[in-house]
């Protein structure tokens, strides 16, 4: 059996709730004989919102971040120094960092800046959104046979882990 993104989206949301994180409500549903997941809208009526990618693109120097030749820790440091330019960084910082640690925990490989959002309830009331779009995690591409191969072959597992990158929610490219 292959684990699919609807199942991993649901399981990741449950894991996040167990960790007391603010998670999107996810249900497994069937429509016309096809299984999928239903995601509850988390944006209250009348609240302005903006995806991280739009917020970051509006900051001077974002292209330099995307085209940086830096890697590993140096790139992460540069990225965090960059996101501090957001005037509301201190308000969203704890939740942004929690999201990134959660992504590492579940092996999320799809956290780019269009997979997180900031909610503007008023000029003084700004919040980080609930955590959403976690389907590309928890080994979603592995069927039982592949999973067994990786568990039994340490070299293959280590190569897979080396080649898997978490994007830290800042980068539109695979870094």
Q: What is the CATH number of the domain that holds 128?
A: 1.10.1070
pLDDT of the residue at 173: 59
> Could you tell me which residues are beta bridge partners of residue 128?
118
170 in a structural domain: no
pLDDT of the residue at 167: 63
| Contact (Cβ atoms closer than 8 angstroms) between residue 99 and residue 116 | yes
pLDDT of the residue at 3: 64
- What is the distance between the alpha carbons of residues 133 and 5, in angstroms, rounded to a whole number? 9
169 in a structural domain: no
Residues of the chain predicted below pLDDT 50: 174-175
pTM: 0.84
pLDDT of the residue at 121: 93
pLDDT of the residue at 134: 93
pLDDT of the residue at 1: 55
pLDDT of the residue at 166: 60
168: alpha, beta or left? (left if phi > 0; alpha if psi -120 to 50): left
40 in a structural domain: yes
pLDDT of the residue at 103: 93
174 in a structural domain: no
pLDDT of the residue at 148: 87
CA distances 145 to 1, 11, 86, 148, Å, are: 8, 21, 45, 5
Q: Which of 101, 69, 68, 72 shows the shortest CA–CA distance to 82? A: 68
Domain span including residue 117: 5-163
Count of structural domains within the chain: 1
| Contact (Cβ atoms closer than 8 angstroms) between residue 26 and residue 9 | yes
Q: Which of 58, 55, 46 shows the shortest CA–CA distance to 115? A: 55
pLDDT of the residue at 136: 86
Q: What share of the chain is helix, strand, coil (3-state, %, to 5)?
A: 40, 15, 40
63 in a structural domain: yes
175 in a structural domain: no
71 in a structural domain: yes
DSSP 8-class letter at 2 = B
Per-residue model confidence as pLDDT tens digits over 67-88 = 888 887 888 888 889 999 999 9
72 in a structural domain: yes
């Amino acid at each position: 059996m292959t684990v699919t993104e609807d199942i991993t989206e649901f399981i990741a949301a449950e894991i996040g709730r167990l960790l007391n994180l603010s998670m999107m409500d996810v249900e497994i549903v069937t429509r016309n004989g096809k299984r999928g997941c239903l995601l509850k809208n988390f944006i209250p009526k009348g609240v302005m919102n903006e995806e991280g990618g739009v917020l970051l693109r509006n900051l001077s120097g974002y292209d330099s971040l995307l085209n940086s030749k830096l890697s590993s820790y140096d790139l992460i440091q540069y990225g965090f120094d960059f996101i501090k330019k957001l005037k509301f960084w201190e308000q969203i910082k704890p939740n942004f960092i929690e999201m990134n640690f959660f992504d590492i925990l579940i092996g999320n490989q799809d956290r780019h800046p269009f997979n997180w959002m900031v909610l503007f309830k008023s000029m003084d009331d700004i919040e980080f959104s609930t955590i959403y779009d976690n389907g590309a995690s928890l080994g979603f591409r592995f069927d039982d046979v592949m999973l067994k191969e990786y568990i039994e072959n340490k070299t293959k597992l280590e190569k897979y882990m080396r080649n898997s990158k978490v994007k830290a929610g800042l980068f539109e490219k695979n870094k």
